[in-house]
Amino acid sequence: MPEIPTQLPREITLVEIRFNSSLAILDMIQPITNKVCDQLGFDEDSQYWIWLATQEALNNAIKHGNKFDPNKKVLFGLQVDGGEFRIIIQDEGEGFVVDEVPDPTRKENLLKTSGRGIFYMRSFMDRVEYNTDKGTKVTLVKRHQDES
Partner 1 sequence: MKIFHRTSEDVTLLDIEGQITIGDGDVMLREALHALIAGGQKKILLNMARVTYMDSSGVGELIAGLQYVQEHGGQFKLLNISKKIKNLLFIAQILSIFEYFNDESVAIASFS
Query: What residues line the site for partner 1 (CB under 8 A)?
Result: 23, 48, 52, 55-56, 59, 63, 104-105, 110-114, 116-117, 119-120, 123
Query: Using the rule CB under 8 A, which residue among 26, 35, 69, 116 binds a copy of itself?
Result: 35
What is the DSSP code (8-state) at residue 10?
Answer: T
- Between CA 29 and CA 35 the distance in angstroms is 10
Asked whether the beta carbons of 37 and 47 are under 8 A apart, the reply is: yes
Least spacing, CB of residue 75 vs ligand ADP, in Å: 12
Closest CA to 72 of 134, 127, 14, 10: 134
Query: Using the rule CB under 8 A, which residue among 43, 45, 71, 147 binds a copy of itself?
Result: 71
Choose the binding region for a copy of itself from 18-26, 47-55, 109-117, 118-126 (rule: CB under 8 A).
Answer: 18-26
| C-alpha dihedral (79, 4, 68, 118), degrees to nearest 10 | 20
Specify the residue, 55 or 79, whose C-beta has the smaller distance to partner 1: 55
Interaction partner, residue 61 (a copy of itself, partner 1, ligand ADP, none; CB < 5-8 Å by kind): ligand ADP
Least spacing, CB of residue 33 vs a copy of itself, in Å: 10
> Any alpha helices (H) in 8-102, and if so which ranges?
26-39, 44-60
Asked whether the beta carbons of 16 and 37 are under 8 A apart, the reply is: no
